[in-house]
């Protein structure tokens, strides 16, 4: 497992400005518990739980983080992966928010390492860490170490 000092969150410049510099989940205040319906979207491979659970929220976030939108915030320990998300793969200017991993617990933030929770992460190259603020809202400013403007990566 990768355990580095910082996590990164990539946002387009417009998304960052719209959020007024905050690091927000897609849905503020949404309880971090979901019920999985075995309708073919998920298979019972040990990742899902019966009834409401945070584990199910993690699984559903991995499948499609907008359906339903949740209170978790996606991060990666890899700066270049965050740049990719910030620039939408090479089309827009963005920012990479640098999050101090050592301050998370002191600020009431729970970190879920996706590879430790899900047998087949959707984007294994992200080494995604899902952050959940205690109030199910924005990450406190105390965990933000830096905000770095980024341009799309140069193409070979």
pLDDT tens digits for range 45-94:
656 666 665 666 677 666 655 555 678 899 999 999 999 999 986 678 89
Asked, for residue 29, whether it belongs to a domain, the answer is yes
Tokens of 125: 């190259």
Give the total number of structural domains in the chain.
1
- Give the range of the structural domain holding residue 21, as residue numbers without chain letter: 6-150
Decide if pLDDT at 31 tops 80: no
Query: Rounded to an integer, what distance in angstroms lies between the CA atom of residue 125 and that of residue 139?
Result: 24
Asked, for residue 156, whether it belongs to a domain, the answer is no
pLDDT of residue 56: 63
Tokens of 48: 């899902």
Asked, for residue 115, whether it belongs to a domain, the answer is yes
Query: Rounded to an integer, what distance in angstroms lies between the CA atom of residue 156 and that of residue 150?
Result: 18
Asked, for residue 143, whether it belongs to a domain, the answer is yes
Mean pLDDT of the chain: 81
Q: What is the DSSP letter of 119?
A: S
SS3 state of residue 51 = coil
Tokens of 35: 């019920």
Nearest Cα to 109, choosing from 129, 140, 134, 130? Answer: 134
Strand pairing of 73-75 and 109-113?
unpaired
Phi, psi of 133 (to 5 degrees): -70, 150
Query: Rounded to an integer, what distance in angstroms lies between the CA atom of residue 121 and that of residue 63?
Result: 9
Strand residue runs (E) in 61-143? 73-75, 94-100, 109-113, 129-133
Sorted by sequence, the CB contacts under 8 Å of residue 77 that are 6+ apart come out as: 2, 3, 4, 6, 7, 8, 127, 129
| pLDDT per residue as tens digits for the range 89-122 | 667 889 999 999 999 999 999 998 888 888 778 8
pLDDT of residue 35: 61
Asked, for residue 23, whether it belongs to a domain, the answer is yes
Residue 139: half-sphere exposure toward Cβ, Cα within 13 Å: 31
Asked, for residue 74, whether it belongs to a domain, the answer is yes
């Amino acid at each position: 497992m990768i355990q580095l000092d910082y996590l990164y969150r990539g946002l387009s410049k417009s998304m960052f400005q719209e959020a007024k510099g905050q690091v927000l989940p897609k849905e503020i205040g949404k309880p971090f518990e979901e019920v999985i319906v075995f309708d073919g979207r998920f298979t019972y491979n040990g990742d899902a739980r019966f009834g409401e659970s945070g584990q199910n929220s993690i699984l559903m976030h991995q499948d499609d983080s907008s359906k339903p939108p949740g209170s978790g915030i996606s991060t990666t320990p890899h700066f270049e992966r965050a740049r990719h998300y910030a620039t939408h793969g090479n089309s827009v200017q963005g920012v990479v928010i640098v999050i101090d991993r050592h301050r998370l617990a002191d600020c009431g933030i729970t970190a879920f390492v996706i590879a430790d929770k899900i047998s087949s992460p959707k984007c294994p190259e992200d080494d995604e860490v899902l952050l959940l603020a205690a109030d199910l809202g924005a990450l406190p400013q105390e965990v933000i170490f830096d905000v770095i403007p980024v341009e799309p990566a140069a193409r070979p």
